[in-house]
Structure 1
Amino acid sequence: MALSAVALVVMAFGVVHAQAPSMYVPTITSEPLEGKITSSTFVLDQPRCVFNNVVGDTDLVWLVVAHSSAEDKVSKTPSPAQLPYQEFKKNSAYMTLSTAVTNYPCPEAGQENNAISVLRVGNETGCISDVSRPDCNGPLPGPGPYSVKFVAMNSNVVTAESKWSEPITLIQGKNPNTIDTEPRQRSASMIAITSILSILFAILLAALIAALIYKYSNICDGADIKRVQDSATMTRYTTHHIYDQPAHKL
């Protein structure tokens, strides 16, 4: 009886943490990461504990990336060979990031999983033109929007799949041809303020120059007067050999 109760608790714990693939919606990660959406990549949460109780351990989980406007055109039985990254423009979709379902495990009973578990879509650059790598996780070619879903496959048979994500729009760089390089027109008030400040600056500079000229001219005049006084100074001489003769006594 006690064993049955423990088993029920464990099963209930698993049900709480597990989510049916058909109800799972891929989302941009909520982890505090830099660059969760860039001009050519975005970061998703891993689909942990989504496919584990539904598919076999040998099944592979793929990520299907498509233009949001073309998600309805993606085959219900997609094939990696038919949707290579190198033909994304032609097919409007591709498959990438395949891995065993065991790489997306459920957290162990009674333990919280604090590890950051994310997938960055679009971060491979060495296989963009490599046709031998149809599953290349290459950079996304434009701002989108894009939609993604996870698909579990056994050989070429789809065994489970998630819902499509909400449209994901990437950061757009500004077209250099649209950048206005001409100086902006200034308002009349700005022109008036600039003119007044220029005039005040000119007056202040002129006053400073005049003060300097006045100061140094006074110094020069004082030096000339001193030289004139020095030249007019008379030198007195004391004659020590001349003295009054005492009167002769009668």
Structure 2
Amino acid sequence: MAPLLLLLLLLLATAHGLGECPDASGAAGGSPTAPTCGGALGVHIEGDRAQSGAPSVQVTLGYTPELASSALVGRITASTFVLEQPRCVFERFPTENIWLVVAVPEAVNDFNNSLGPGTPERAFQEFPSPARAYMTLNTTLPNYACPKPSEGIAVLHVGIETSCANDTSRPTCNGPLPGSGPYQVKFLAFNGSVPVAETQWSLPITLRTAEDPSSIPVPGSGHSGGMIALTTILSILFAILLAGLLAMLVFCSDTCDVSGSFSKPEVVSVRRYNTHHVYDQPAARL
């Protein structure tokens, strides 16, 4: 009986140990890569971030990226947009590499910060499918000096590199965006391969839609609405003038002696009279 009681107590203790969730930050060593709990065994996986086993970003900053001033010409085009530089944002990270992340809105909620720049999942050439985000425009804090310079334009032009758009050896290319979007962006700082700080995601950015080339009027190939109206009016006036001229000719052919105007002048004949009685008078009378 005693052995059965001991076996029952052992089974109860084992079941109790499996039902508890170990604290990753407690006596287990606080390893951030320790499996978390969920389900029957307490294992919880949050998107692809937990699957990678890499640490998530440590600091989320309050800064939200925003577009440059609307007064800037070309702020948004069909394949590019211009952002304000994140000045006075990463002062606590003087040596970290700061990257710009461009993503489709569907990738924002479960974005995996541990997938670093240059990986296939973050390659520009694979964006927006299968890669739902890419990373580009890396720099360090000195290029985002604080305060903002009083002179000059401190902005970031996104999508202006055309030479590397199809070059798979440059996965961090700042190439033209493949469509009108929308897109969302944030800044992400790495210490080596470890993400250490990030900003908030921007509001969705929608690019301009390119016009169909066939709908763009080309000089010499078409006419404006005003030109067509003017041509129509002149055509009507010319028709009225021509009809009036024809009516005048018909009327004049019935009432006017048109042929007399062009007849040859009549020949005037002068009859010659012989005054013989003047020359037949006798000389004596003289």
- The alignment's TM-score, normalised by the length of structure 2, stands at 0.59
Distance verdict in 2 for CA 1:79–1:222, change over 3 Å: same
Q: Shift of the alpha carbon at 1:239?
A: 8.3
* Structure 1 gaps, min length 5: 1-19, 177-193
Higher Cα radius of gyration: 2
Alignment of 1:37 with 2:76, yes or no, is: yes
Alignment of 1:23 with 2:62, yes or no, is: yes
Distance verdict in 2 for CA 1:238–1:155, change over 3 Å: farther
Distance verdict in 2 for CA 1:44–1:248, change over 3 Å: same
Partner residue in 2 for 1:156: 193
Q: Shift of the alpha carbon at 1:235?
A: 3.8
Structure of greater relative contact order (alpha carbons < 8 Å, 6+ residues apart)? 1
- The alignment's TM-score, normalised by the length of structure 1, stands at 0.66
Identify which of 146, 150, 166 aligns with 2:203.
166
Q: Shift of the alpha carbon at 1:168?
A: 0.8
Alignment of 1:90 with 2:143, yes or no, is: no
Alignment of structure 1 residues 92-171 onto 2, 5 Å: 92-107=132-147, 113-171=150-208
* Contact 1:21–1:50 under 8 Å retained in 2: no
Helix, strand or coil at the partner of 2:156: strand
Q: Shift of the alpha carbon at 1:101?
A: 1.6
Q: Which whole-Å deviations, capped at 9, do the CAs of 1:91-139 have from their partners, x for residues lacking one?
A: 201100111221121247xxx6131122121121221232221111112
Q: Shift of the alpha carbon at 1:84?
A: 1.7
Q: Shift of the alpha carbon at 1:211?
A: 3.2
Q: Shift of the alpha carbon at 1:248?
A: 2.4
* Structure 2 gaps, min length 5: 1-58, 214-231
Partner residue in 2 for 1:65: 102
**How many angstroms apart in 2 are the aligned matches of 1:99 and 1:212?**
88
Q: Shift of the alpha carbon at 1:243?
A: 5.4
Q: Shift of the alpha carbon at 1:202?
A: 4.8
Q: CA RMSD in A?
A: 3.7
* Contact 1:144–1:170 under 8 Å retained in 2: yes
Amino acid at match of 2:196: T
Helix, strand or coil at the partner of 1:91: coil
Identity %: 47
Greater Cα offset, 160-169 or 119-128: 119-128
Greater Cα offset, 30-39 or 94-103: 30-39
* Contact 1:39–1:170 under 8 Å retained in 2: yes
Amino acid at match of 1:61: I
**How many angstroms apart in 2 are the aligned matches of 1:59 and 1:48?**
15
Partner residue in 1 for 2:56: none
**How many angstroms apart in 2 are the aligned matches of 1:228 and 1:107?**
105
Alignment of 1:223 with 2:262, yes or no, is: yes
Amino acid at match of 2:125: Q
* Contact 1:68–1:167 under 8 Å retained in 2: yes
Amino acid at match of 2:64: V
Q: Which whole-Å deviations, capped at 9, do the CAs of 1:130-160 have from their partners, x for residues lacking one?
A: 2221111112122211100011222122232
**How many angstroms apart in 2 are the aligned matches of 1:62 and 1:241?**
137
Q: How many pairs does the alignment contain?
A: 203
Amino acid at match of 1:38: T
Amino acid at match of 1:91: A
Q: Which whole-Å deviations, capped at 9, do the CAs of 1:56-112 have from their partners, x for residues lacking one?
A: 1x322110000012112211334103312123211201100111221121247xxx6
* Contact 1:61–1:150 under 8 Å retained in 2: yes
